[in-house]
């Protein structure tokens, strides 16, 4: 449903919402400033008050997505005082974000569309979200739960796990596999993240 009115200060948010709706319904290829304006119910020139071109709009959505993801991860990290448990919660939160913001999640990892080299703020937002994971791994190292010499590798591995689970769920494969296993996707995500946490601890590695 198109928005036919908006407060002047809400135009930017209106256009971003319209762009996400368009991505969800027709895919990224359908996005142009003119088409987004039509979806938002505003004049064709309205988007240029906030976005120089299509790439600028997509970059803004990417930045917003990473900022929201960082908030999800920060809240998950704060939900427990156990660093290893926090690591598990981060994985679950990452997947949860992708489920609640599927169009934005897919966009955030399409640099050829948002052109992050031309929009360094997008890089900074992505790094800030990743830093929540890095800091949580560092806390695990500090209490002796993870080996210091593998901290950077484990941070990337954990990101890869969360992103893989999120992508598999969005594409429908995780739910299909869950049914075959007699469980449900949320339970499988939780079990996988907990299993991975157990496997990367020094005691498990030694065994």
| Per-residue buried b or exposed e for 180-189, using 16+ beta carbons within 10 Å of the residue's own CB | eeeeebbebb
Q: What are the tens digits of pLDDT across the range 29-57?
A: 999 999 999 999 999 999 999 999 998 99
Question: How many CB atoms within 10 Å of residue 203?
Answer: 8
Judgement on whether residues 61 and 123 belong to the same structural domain of the protein: yes
Give the C-alpha separation, 82 to 63, whole Å. Answer: 30
Find the CATH number of the domain harbouring 37.
1.10.10.60
Domain that holds residue 36: 1-51
Q: What are the tens digits of pLDDT across the range 63-92?
A: 999 999 999 999 999 999 999 999 999 999
pTM of the model: 0.88
* Number of domains composing the chain: 2
Judgement on whether residues 145 and 185 belong to the same structural domain of the protein: yes
Judgement on whether residues 42 and 68 belong to the same structural domain of the protein: no
């Amino acid at each position: 449903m198109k928005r036919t009115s908006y407060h002047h200060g809400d135009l930017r948010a209106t256009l971003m919402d319209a762009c996400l709706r368009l991505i969800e319904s027709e895919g990224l290829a359908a996005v142009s400033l003119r088409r987004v304006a039509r979806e938002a119910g505003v004049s064709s020139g309205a988007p240029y008050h906030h976005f120089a071109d299509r790439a600028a709009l997509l970059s803004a959505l990417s930045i917003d997505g990473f900022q929201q993801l960082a908030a999800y991860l920060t809240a998950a990290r704060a939900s427990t005082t156990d660093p290893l448990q926090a690591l598990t919660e981060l994985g679950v939160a990452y997947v949860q974000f992708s489920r609640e913001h599927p169009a934005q999640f897919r966009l955030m990892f399409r640099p050829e569309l948002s052109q992050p080299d031309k929009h360094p703020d997008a890089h900074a937002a992505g790094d800030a979200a990743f830093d929540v994971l890095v800091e949580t791994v560092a806390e695990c190292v500090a209490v002796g739960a993870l080996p210091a010499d593998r901290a950077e590798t484990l941070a990337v591995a954990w990101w890869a796990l969360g992103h893989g689970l999120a992508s598999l769920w969005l594409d429908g494969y995780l739910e299909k596999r869950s049914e075959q296993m007699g469980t449900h996707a949320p339970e499988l995500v939780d079990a996988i993240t907990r299993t991975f946490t157990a496997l990367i601890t020094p005691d498990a590695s030694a065994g």
